[in-house]
Amino acid sequence: MAVQTRPPASTDDAPTARARPSAPPVGWRSRIFRFEAKAAPYLYISPFFLLFFAFGLFPLVWTAWISLNDFELGSPMVFVGLDNYRWLFDSPEFYNSLWRTITIGILATVPQLMLALGLAHLLNYQMVVRNFFRISMLMPYATSVAASTLVFAQLFGRDNGFVNWVLSWVGIDAVDWRNGDLTAQIAIAVIVTWRWTGYNALIYLAGMQSISQDLYEAASLDGASKWQQFLHVTLPGLRPTILFTIVVSTIGATQLFGEPLLFGNGQADGGALGQYQTLGLFMYQQGWDYFQLGRAATIAWVTFVLVVALVLLNTGIARWRTRDRKATR
């Protein structure tokens, strides 16, 4: 029986592969949505960078350029290179103002932070009218520098000042606070301490309230007194907050300007002997009393470098002590 064979199918009769559907054309709305999703984060943060470039980076760079020029107010700039920096580091007035800035900063910062820490520790307990004391601590910070400094200038007056009147009760003669060397610095440090103690106390209080109460309860069960709890629970928990206040207070002390200027009746010489002339007053004197804007810009840049160096030093010391504590455990 013969077997009939089927002729092979031609390639034309083979079923064709199913074609993939082509992607729909992207409309203009889809393109806008995609662009918005990518660009929205940059648009949200752009106001910060615009303000930073306009009021932060550009003045910093422009001040650096001015410091390399001999620039008097009303006269064209003349490029002099590093001559202004040579003048500054050869000037006895610069070292005097640098030393006064350091001493006033120490006299104001150390008592200020210690008082703030003590006040915050007291406010951390359940006290009557505690909210009243919290609000009252912000009143010095809300007071203008001019108002507070003028009031304290009257309190530290030589002839009719309240402070000398109180000192006369214990047989101390009247002190010439403004014309003395250490006395003028103490008076300015008292003004700064009065203004910023409450602000730092509230920062410490917020840090204390973030410490877990379980740590205090465990320390109490172990027989620790309130003072021991403060040393071994509160202070270690406040270490980042204390570092923050030290850095901010150091920056503020380096830039001290309003208090010594108003304490000296608006004179930028810092007293007859420059006994309280800070770097801020020295820069103001060169720029607006002597119209030497190039030298003033030089002082500003040196102050900026000094602030950065002090911040890095404080941060490095804090990290070094933290590393040592972890290594000893």
Answer positive or negative: Cα dihedral of 120, 185, 282, 317. negative
- Indicate if the pLDDT at residue 109 is higher than 80: yes
Kindly state the tokens that stand for 93. 């007035």
Q: Report the pLDDT value the prediction gives residue 102, as an integer from 0 to 100.
A: 93
Q: Which long-range contacts (CB under 8 A, 24 or more apart) does 271-276 make?
A: 271/178, 271/179, 271/184, 272/179, 273/181, 274/93, 274/96, 274/97, 274/100, 275/100, 275/179, 275/180, 275/181, 275/184, 275/185, 276/100, 276/104, 276/184, 276/185, 276/188
d(CA 295, CA 279): 12
Q: Report the pLDDT value the prediction gives residue 324, as an integer from 0 to 100.
A: 66
d(CA 184, CA 108): 12
Q: Report the pLDDT value the prediction gives residue 188, as an integer from 0 to 100.
A: 94
Average pLDDT, the chain: 85
Q: Report the pLDDT value the prediction gives residue 24, as an integer from 0 to 100.
A: 53
Residue 229 pLDDT grade (very low, low, confident, very high; cuts 50, 70, 90): confident
Average pLDDT on 85-107 reads 95
Q: Report the pLDDT value the prediction gives residue 127, as an integer from 0 to 100.
A: 67
Higher pLDDT, 145 or 16: 145
Q: Report the pLDDT value the prediction gives residue 27, as an integer from 0 to 100.
A: 67
Nearest CA-CA partner of 167 in 154, 181, 155, 179: 155
Main-chain dihedrals φ then ψ at residue 35, nearest 5 degrees: -65, -40
% of the chain surpassing 90 pLDDT: 43
CB 260 within 8 A of CB 278: yes
CA distances from 117 to 1, 20, 111, 299 (A): 114, 73, 10, 34
pLDDT tens profile 246-271: 989 989 999 999 999 999 888 888 88
1 by DSSP, 3-state: which?
A: coil
Amino acid at 172: I
- Indicate if the pLDDT at residue 16 is higher than 90: no
What percent helix, strand, coil does the chain show, rounded to 5?
A: 70, 0, 30
CB 277 within 8 A of CB 98: no
- Indicate if the pLDDT at residue 279 is higher than 70: yes
Q: Report the pLDDT value the prediction gives residue 316, as an integer from 0 to 100.
A: 83
d(CA 156, CA 135): 27
pLDDT tens profile 288-315: 999 999 999 999 999 999 999 988 888 8
Kindly state the tokens that stand for 147. 């108002």
How far apart, in Å, do the first and last CA atoms of the chain sit?
Answer: 100
- Indicate if the pLDDT at residue 63 is higher than 50: yes
d(CA 268, CA 284): 7
Higher pLDDT, 208 or 23: 208
d(CA 60, CA 66): 10
Q: Report the pLDDT value the prediction gives residue 1, as an integer from 0 to 100.
A: 44
pTM: 0.81
% of the chain surpassing 70 pLDDT: 89
- Indicate if the pLDDT at residue 23 is higher than 80: no
- Indicate if the pLDDT at residue 235 is higher than 70: yes
pLDDT tens profile 36-62: 778 888 888 889 889 999 998 999 999
Residue 329 pLDDT grade (very low, low, confident, very high; cuts 50, 70, 90): low
- Indicate if the pLDDT at residue 93 is higher than 70: yes
